């Protein structure tokens, strides 16, 4: 057991390895390289394992690019919705590829980055997303260049393009149709490029995903246009590999039993609030005891979800919240001055490292 009190995130390297082996398989069969999307997962204490199976990292703004360079190594792709002049100066020393979000930024900074591979993000006008908030092709989207004609005019200034058009897409048929659309509409551009990134949001490490068909599609696409294909898995790289371990502090009753745990959606698993989804519970298992599990912040809607569990929760019960790796540790915050969950790793040999504890000093240091 870790030498730490709850709450803490617990990463299982064994589960991570299962995803990583799939990523390596895709690379071996299709030739598509995978760079980890740090915006999803920047917990660098497991990069030692991840770097053996992945080709590098892709970052949003500067600090992620630096983290990728310092802690992961290999290829560093730097993309940003908006670079500043200072970002560009720093990124020049860290990145292998710089991907601009707009033709105007390419125009302003492209010449300063001679020697690096430059790219542009394209908005193909199609997407797969269950959430408008995360839909890169939503109306008035600022993400990527939508004007094909203008893209063709600057094609000689870049060596690659990035299409990020999926969010939690586990539907291979729809992915395949979207790839056809991209090939059909951007084939003439792709033929002039050395590389293309198909972004993240493809759930290819999920159980039952038709992996061999996926590999074949990527391989054929790469050959047809003569491009190195990249994937930018965030969630797919770390899905299912961590839990948020909590303890029940109290059980109150208001029509239903409500167990209050020593963590919070708002502070520690924010996306459940943002996307209005329920957390999955890894422990206790399913059963007949109905309970709502809620966070300890003062936000009225700080609720993980409603469940039927094997045991009746009482003060002191341990609750393990599943799928706690992606978009959690990178988004945690000090709302309500709540204790921030530590970070623990169950290594491949079964030992558990407590790699980070946070305390009052971290709270005060994040403010002034
Ligand atoms: C450009 C880009 N690449 C990759 C990703 C990672 O996506 P996911 O974590 O869904 O795989 C994102 C997520 O928003 C993204 O915006």
pLDDT tens by residue, the chain, 368 residues: 678 999 999 999 999 999 999 999 999 999 999 999 999 999 999 999 999 999 999 998 799 999 999 999 999 999 999 999 999 999 999 999 999 999 999 999 999 999 999 999 999 999 999 999 999 999 999 999 999 999 999 999 999 999 999 999 999 999 999 999 999 999 999 999 999 999 999 999 999 999 999 999 999 999 999 999 999 999 999 999 999 999 999 999 999 999 999 999 999 999 999 999 999 999 999 999 999 999 999 999 999 999 999 999 999 999 999 999 999 999 999 999 999 999 999 999 999 999 999 999 999 999 99
Distance CA 286, CA 302 (A): 22
Determine the distance separating the centroid of ligand 1 and the alpha carbon of 3, expressed in angstroms: 33
Among residues 259, 272, 254, 262, the alpha carbon closest in space to that of 311 is found at: 259
- In this prediction, residue 2 carries a pLDDT of 75
Q: Of ligand 1's atoms, which has the minimum distance to the CA of residue 121?
A: 1
Question: 7: Cβ below 6 Å to ligand 1?
Answer: no
Closest residue CA from atom 13 of ligand 1 = 200
Question: 234: Cβ below 6 Å to ligand 1?
Answer: yes
- In this prediction, residue 196 carries a pLDDT of 98
Question: 236: Cβ below 6 Å to ligand 1?
Answer: yes
Distance CA 222, CA 267 (A): 41
Q: Of ligand 1's atoms, which has the minimum distance to the CA of residue 164?
A: 1
Determine the distance separating the centroid of ligand 1 and the alpha carbon of 318, expressed in angstroms: 32
Q: What's 67's DSSP letter?
A: H
Question: 119: Cβ below 6 Å to ligand 1?
Answer: no
Question: 40: Cβ below 6 Å to ligand 1?
Answer: yes
- From 135, 200, 239, the mutation candidate for ligand 1 (largest count of ligand atoms within 8 A of CB) is 200
- In this prediction, residue 3 carries a pLDDT of 80
- In this prediction, residue 229 carries a pLDDT of 98
Question: CB–CB of 112/88 below 8 Å?
Answer: yes
Neighbour-count burial of 237, counting CB atoms closer than 10 A to its CB (0-12 exposed, 13-18 middle, 19+ buried):
buried
Question: 37: Cβ below 6 Å to ligand 1?
Answer: yes
Question: CB–CB of 238/16 below 8 Å?
Answer: yes
Question: 203: Cβ below 6 Å to ligand 1?
Answer: no
């Amino acid at each position: 057991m870790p030498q730490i009190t709850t709450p803490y995130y617990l990463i299982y390297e064994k589960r991570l390895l299962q995803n990583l082996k799939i990523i390596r398989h895709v690379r071996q069969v299709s030739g598509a390289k995978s760079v980890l999307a740090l915006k999803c997962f920047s917990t660098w204490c497991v990069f030692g394992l991840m770097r053996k199976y992945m080709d590098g990292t892709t970052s949003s703004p500067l600090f992620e690019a630096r983290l990728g360079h310092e802690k992961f190594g290999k290829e560093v792709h730097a993309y940003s919705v908006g670079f500043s002049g200072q970002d560009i100066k720093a990124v020049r020393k860290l990145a292998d590829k710089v991907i601009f979000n707009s033709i105007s930024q390419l125009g302003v900074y492209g010449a300063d980055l001679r020697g690096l591979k430059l790219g542009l993000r394209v908005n193909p006008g199609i997407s797969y997303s269950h959430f408008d908030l995360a839909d890169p092709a939503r109306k008035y989207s600022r993400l990527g260049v939508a004007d094909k004609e203008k893209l063709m005019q600057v094609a000689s200034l870049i060596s690659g393009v990035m299409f990020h058009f999926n969010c939690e897409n586990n539907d291979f048929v729809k992915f395949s149709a979207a790839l056809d659309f991209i090939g059909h509409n951007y084939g003439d551009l792709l033929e002039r490029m050395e590389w293309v990134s198909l972004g993240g949001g493809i759930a290819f490490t999920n159980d039952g995903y038709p992996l061999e068909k996926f590999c074949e599609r990527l391989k054929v696409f790469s050959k047809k246009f003569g491009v190195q294909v990249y994937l930018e898995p965030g969630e797919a790289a770390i899905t299912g590999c961590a839990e948020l371990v909590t303890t029940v502090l109290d059980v109150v009753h208001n029509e239903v039993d409500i167990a209050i745990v020593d963590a919070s959606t708002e502070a520690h698993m924010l996306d459940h609030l943002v996307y209005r989804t329920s957390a999955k519970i890894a422990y206790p298992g399913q059963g007949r005891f109905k309970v709502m599990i809620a966070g300890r912040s003062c936000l009225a809607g700080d609720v993980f979800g409603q469940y039927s569990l094997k045991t009746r929760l009482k003060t002191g019960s341990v609750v393990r919240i599943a799928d706690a790796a992606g978009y959690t540790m990178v988004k945690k915050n000090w709302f309500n001055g709540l204790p921030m969950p530590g970070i623990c790793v169950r290594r491949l040999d079964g030992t558990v490292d407590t790699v980070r504890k946070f305390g009052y000093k971290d709270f005060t240091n994040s403010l002034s």
